[in-house]
């Protein structure tokens, strides 16, 4: 096997002096995560598959193009770079691992539209004609998935299921009887404190001869004394409740 050491634009063509065919390749590999790309896991096996595919007379342009894929990305810049180099050099794109990519619409469409020749180490019979079939199959499968998803969502909506993504919201569990009792006790203590706070003022007013509930409420409002709620005005009912709470 020969290794290209000249500029990317040069390429041996035709046959060797002995008449054996010469094919120039640009290698394309892919790993699924950045961590896998750095560690070399999976990449070594693909590089070995590439070496096994090459004949002694073949030329492999350097360096190979390694795609680090992510589930959040659909673009493949290394694939586009490899295709562009094939266009410039007339080389054949050598894909180390086609497998599931054969069902990816974006990937097979890129191959179809590129116009470059390609080979796949794990799919040796693949060719440009087959890519057209793969594109049609992938697009049909994607359309079927879309239709099934829409049908499932429509059925869920008809059943009254609330649709929408998970935003991290979790409804609180209904309060227990113990929770209700504790909350009630807290409110009662707060109300008692406020009633006892106004008690000295009421006793002083009553000592001054103010006896009616309405008159007590009017005098409290004139003094600007806060109500138990902290807002609004005193009423005869509010005064009565405060006195009753203190009496208890």
Q: What is the pLDDT of residues 40-91, one digit of tens each?
A: 557 888 889 999 999 899 999 998 999 887 655 567 889 899 999 999 999 9
* Structural domain boundaries enclosing 198: 187-247
Q: Is 26 exposed, middle or buried (0-12, 13-18, 19+ CB in 10 A)?
A: buried
Q: Is 112 helix (H, G, I), strand (E, B) or coil?
A: helix
Residues 6 and 104 in one domain: yes
User: What's 127's domain CATH number?
Assistant: 3.40.50.1390
Task: Give catalytic residue positions.
Answer: 32
E-assigned strand segments in the chain: 2-3, 24-31, 59-68, 92-95, 118-120
| The last residue of a domain, from among 140, 167, 197 | 140
Tell me whether residue 163 is in a domain: no
Cα 92 from Cα 86, distance rounded (Å): 6
Q: Please tell me whether residue 212 adopts helix, strand or coil conformation.
A: coil
The first and second tokens of residue 50, run together, are: 């590439």
Tokens for 43, please give them. Answer: 């990449």
Predicted TM-score (pTM) of the model is 0.48
169 domain-assigned:
no
In whole numbers, what is the pLDDT of the chain averaged over residues? 76
Question: What pLDDT was estimated at residue 94?
Answer: 93
Q: Which two tokens stand for residue 129?
A: 């004609």
CB atoms < 10 A from the CB of 82, how many? 27
Domain-located, residue 147: no
Whether 127 and 205 share a structural domain? no
pLDDT at residue 196 in the model = 64
| 241 and 121 housed in the same domain | no
The pair phi, psi for residue 119, each rounded to 5°, is: -135, 150
Tokens describing residue 229: 């709620």
How many domains are there within the chain? 2
d(CA 25, CA 91): 5
Nearest in space to 79 (alpha carbons), one of 70, 69, 88, 71:
69
Q: Please give the pLDDT value at position 50.
A: 92
Q: Which residue has the higher pLDDT, 34 or 83?
A: 83
Question: Same domain, yes or no, for 124 and 230?
Answer: no
pLDDT digits (tens, 9 = 90+) for 129-170: 676 676 677 667 777 877 888 887 877 778 777 666 555 555
Q: Does residue 79 fall inside a structural domain?
A: yes
Pair 36, 111 in one domain: yes
Q: Is 9 exposed, middle or buried (0-12, 13-18, 19+ CB in 10 A)?
A: exposed
Q: Rounded to an integer, what distance in angstroms lies between the CA atom of residue 6 and that of residue 16? A: 18
* Nearest partner of 93 among 106, 108, 71, 74, judged by Cα: 108
Q: What are phi and psi of 67, to 5 degrees?
A: -95, 125
* Residue 199 and residue 116 in one domain: no
Residue 76 has a pLDDT of: 82
Question: Looking at the domain assignment, is residue 199 inside a domain?
Answer: yes
Torsion of CA 58, 64, 70, 76, to 10 degrees: -80
Neighbours of 110 (CB within 10 A): 18
Tokens (6 digits) for 165: 């993504």
Q: Is residue 33 part of a domain?
A: yes
Of residues 32 and 214, which shows the higher confidence score?
A: 214
Q: Which of 104, 124, 140 is the last residue of a domain?
A: 140
Is it the case that residue 233 has pLDDT exceeding 70? yes
The residue with greater pLDDT, 183 or 71, is 183
**Which pLDDT score, from 0 to 100, does residue 8 have?**
45
What pLDDT was estimated at residue 9?
45
Q: Are residues 136 and 224 in the same domain?
A: no
């Amino acid at each position: 096997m020969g290794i290209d050491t000249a500029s990317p634009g040069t390429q041996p063509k035709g046959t060797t002096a002995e008449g054996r065919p010469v094919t120039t390749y640009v290698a394309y590999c892919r790993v699924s995560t950045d961590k896998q790309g750095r560690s070399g896991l999976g990449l070594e096996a693909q590089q070995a598959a590439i070496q096994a595919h090459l004949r002694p007379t073949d030329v492999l342009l350097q360096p190979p193009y390694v795609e680090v894929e992510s589930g959040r990305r659909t673009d493949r810049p290394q694939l586009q770079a490899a295709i562009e180099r094939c266009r410039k050099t007339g080389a054949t794109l050598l894909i180390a691992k086609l497998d599931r990519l054969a069902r990816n619409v974006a990937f097979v469409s890129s191959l179809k539209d590129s116009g470059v020749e390609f080979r796949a180490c794990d799919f040796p019979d693949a060719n440009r004609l087959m890519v057209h079939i793969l594109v049609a199959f992938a697009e049909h499968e994607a359309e079927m998935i879309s239709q099934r998803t829409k049908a499932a969502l429509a059925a869920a909506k008809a059943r009254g299921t609330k649709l929408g993504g998970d935003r991290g919201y979790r409804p609180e569990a209904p309060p227990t009887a113990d929770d209700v009792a504790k909350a009630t006790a807290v409110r009662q203590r707060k109300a008692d404190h406020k009633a006892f706070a106004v008690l000295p003022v009421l006793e002083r007013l009553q000592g001054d001869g103010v006896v009616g509930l309405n008159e007590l409420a009017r005098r409290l409002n004139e003094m600007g004394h806060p109500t138990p709620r902290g807002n609004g005005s005193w009423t005869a009912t509010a005064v009565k409740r405060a006195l009753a709470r203190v009496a208890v």
